[in-house]
């Protein structure tokens, strides 16, 4: 009896834990509807970086294990002659095939007692894994000529340099550049930087042979001449945004016990129903209409009326002007949630921005990439009715009332696109910085207007409590400078202690452009609105074409200016 009761209690424990956690999450809601934690693009970017690092580490470990298992030293190709593990290979000792060489390696005297162990534990660097993967694609790829830079830490001084050059020659390599300097590392006499050109497979074998010599304290392959493009994939045409739909599923109501809809099965089913629209959407499709329920329209009306009440005093002029235009177009009305297709057509006429449906909270990289094409990925589902003034992740009320009005302003639309363009091909740390800039500007930005502070951030304009807090004397206000803003820790558990103030959208854009020019991306991009394509400006021909287009535009502007001056004097 007691045992069965105990088993029953054990079975109930998970449900009790769920109920307790959900109760605590609900209890943590603040007076103005804020939970204990908010979801943000910055949090997404950091989560993505962590996942990418873990995935990269797994790939590297797998590739290294594969390299050890296959015995990279046993095979390489030289002048169409296959040299196996039983043949003799070039060595670092004298750059020739001598009797002391055993199984394609250095003599025992050179390698040391740990030669066998070093061979077993040989570890590829990330650059070598990339090179090896590129070489393994095909026989042609294996023999493709590759330029690379090798950094050697020489213990024995210049005496080993001649042997190194001879070994490179025997691996059918060509030395393009060589320089040395006294080393600052203890136990190392010289550092040598050698730029070589040889087949990929021989380059890998050369590096391995050099590493097995005790003459060197280090042998490092430096990325050179695009050994492999480590630039993250990014969309080149608006149709490629069909692939930019990765969701942050950790914030879905099924998985997040802090979500207001976690315990509401009907709400979760409704979310799935609306999400199917986004999953099925493809470039060029009309955005299907969503039939919103009476409860959903009621939630919209409560938030809409609150924004109407706060907007005249606290919102910036650009927001209010665009909001009025949306009302005049009968898109913003209190009793009905706007359809995305109507909003998209409105934006296209004013700034060229369009909307496409999103099934949920997108990854930071995918969301920012869309902005580069003047596409805003918008959700269509509505926040839970029990939490009308807050949603843990963006919903259509936040998108429509927070973001859409300013996307109809030409200057702000340009600023949003600049952030998107900067994200294309950016590294993971740079995506984090861009997301932080987005957080403190597009979501929580303040600006000056007639010597008064006004809000333009979407999260502020759709949140009563934080809006009043931001415009009070409690937080610290700083001038917007992207370099410092991008590394400012953000607050996701309570109101922001720091807000950044822009002098104007034009000033913010100019500062942002200067900051972006310092990023590590080795190329520049521009968006061609006629072809809906992002062009990578990485050749003289492309730059000449762009200059010709700009000259044509300048000619039109000069002619217009002359005509205006002529009519003025008449």
Nearest CA to 204 among 323, 67, 315, 306? 67
Does the annotation mark 398 as catalytic?
yes
Q: Is 403 annotated among the ligand-binding residues? A: yes
Among residues 416, 462, 463, 486, which one is catalytic?
462
Which helix (H) or strand (E) covers residue 32, if one does?
none
Structural tokens at position 530? 């006629």
Report CA dihedral (531, 533, 537, 543) to the nearest 10 degrees. 10
Q: Which helix (H) or strand (E) holds 449?
A: strand 446-449
Residue 526, strand partner residues: 535
Whether 462 is a known active-site residue: answer yes
Strand partners, 200: none
Q: Structure tokens of 455? A: 């809000």
350 labelled catalytic: no
Decide if 407 contacts 273 (C-beta within 8 A): no
Residue 451 assigned to a binding site: no
Instruction: Note the residue count of the chain.
Output: 570
DSSP string of 542-554, one letter each residue: HHHHHHHHHHHHH
**Residues 334 and 301 sit within 8 Å (Cβ to Cβ):** yes
Is 73 catalytic? The answer is no
Q: Is 398 annotated as a binding residue?
A: yes
The catalytic residue among 403, 432, 466, 532 is 403
Q: Which residues pair with 453 in a beta bridge?
A: 448
The answer to whether 133 and 228 have CB atoms below 8 angstroms apart is yes
Partnered with residue 358 across adjacent β-strands are 379
Tell me which of 128, 398, 399, 423 is the catalytic residue.
398
Out of 127, 443, 466, 532, the active site residue is 443
Q: What is the DSSP letter of 344?
A: H
Residue listed under structure tokens 């959208």: 505
Name, in order, each residue with C-beta under 8 angstroms of 406's C-beta and a sequence gap of 6 or more. Answer: 318, 319, 322, 412, 413, 456, 458
Q: Which residues are annotated as a binding site?
A: 398, 403, 443
Annotated catalytic sites, by residue?
Answer: 398, 403, 443, 462
Residues at the annotated binding site for Fe cation? 398, 403, 443
């Amino acid at each position: 009896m007691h045992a069965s009761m105990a088993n029953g209690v054990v079975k109930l424990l998970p449900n009790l834990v769920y109920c307790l956690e959900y109760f605590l999450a609900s209890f943590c809601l603040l007076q103005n509807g804020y939970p204990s934690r908010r979801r943000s693009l910055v949090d997404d970017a950091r989560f993505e970086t962590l996942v990418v690092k873990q995935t990269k580490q797994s790939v590297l470990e797998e590739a290294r294990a594969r390299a050890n298992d296959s015995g990279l030293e046993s095979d390489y190709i030289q002048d169409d002659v296959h040299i196996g593990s039983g043949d003799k290979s070039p060595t670092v000792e004298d750059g020739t095939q001598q009797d002391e060489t055993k199984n394609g390696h250095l003599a025992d005297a050179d390698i040391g007692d740990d030669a066998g162990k070093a061979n077993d534990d040989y570890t590829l660097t990330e650059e070598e894994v990339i090179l090896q993967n590129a070489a393994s694609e095909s026989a042609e790829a294996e023999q493709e000529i590759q330029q690379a830079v090798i950094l050697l830490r020489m213990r024995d001084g210049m005496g080993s340099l001649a042997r190194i050059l001879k070994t490179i020659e025997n691996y059918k390599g060509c030395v393009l550049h060589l320089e040395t300097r006294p080393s600052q590392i203890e136990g190392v006499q010289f550092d040598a930087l050698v730029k070589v050109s040889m087949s990929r497979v021989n380059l890998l074998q050369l590096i391995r042979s050099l590493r097995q010599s005790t003459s060197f304290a280090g042998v490092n392959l430096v990325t050179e001449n695009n050994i492999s493009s480590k630039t993250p994939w990014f969309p080149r045409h608006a149709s490629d945004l069909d692939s930019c739909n990765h969701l942050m599923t950790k914030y879905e109501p099924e998985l997040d016990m802090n979500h207001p809809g976690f315990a509401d099965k009907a709400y979760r089913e409704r979310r799935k129903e609306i999400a199917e629209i986004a999953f099925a959407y493809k470039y060029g499709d009309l955005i299907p209409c969503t039939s919103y329920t009476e409860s959903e329209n009621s939630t919209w009306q409560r938030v809409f009326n609150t924004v109407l009440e706060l907007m005249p005093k606290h919102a910036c002029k650009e927001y209010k002007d665009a909001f009025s235009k949306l009302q005049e177009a009968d898109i913003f009305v209190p009793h009905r949630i706007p359809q995305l297709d109507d909003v998209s057509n409105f934006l296209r006429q004013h700034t060229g921005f369009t909307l496409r449906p999103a099934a949920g909270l997108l990854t930071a990289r995918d969301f920012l990439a869309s902005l580069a094409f003047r596409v805003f990925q918008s959700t269509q589902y509505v926040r839970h009715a029990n939490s009308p003034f807050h949603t843990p992740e963006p919903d259509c009320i936040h998108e429509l009332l927070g973001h859409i009005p300013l996307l109809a302003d030409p200057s702000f639309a340009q600023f949003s696109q600049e952030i998107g363009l900067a994200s294309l091909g950016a590294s993971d740390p740079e995506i984090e910085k861009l997301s932080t800039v987005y957080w403190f500007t597009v979501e929580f930005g303040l600006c000056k207007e007639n010597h008064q502070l006004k809000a333009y951030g979407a999260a502020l304009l759709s949140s009563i409590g934080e809006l009043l807090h931001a415009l009070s004397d409690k937080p610290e206000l700083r001038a917007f400078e992207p370099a410092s803003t991008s590394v400012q820790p953000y607050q996701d558990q309570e109101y922001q202690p720091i807000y950044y103030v822009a002098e104007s959208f034009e000033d913010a854009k100019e500062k942002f452009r200067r900051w972006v020019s310092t990023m590590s991306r080795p190329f520049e991009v521009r968006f061609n609105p006629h072809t809906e394509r992002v062009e990578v400006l990485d050749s003289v021909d492309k730059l000449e074409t762009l200059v010709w287009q700009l000259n044509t535009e300048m000619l039109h502007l000069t002619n217009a200016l002359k005509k205006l001056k002529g009519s003025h004097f008449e």
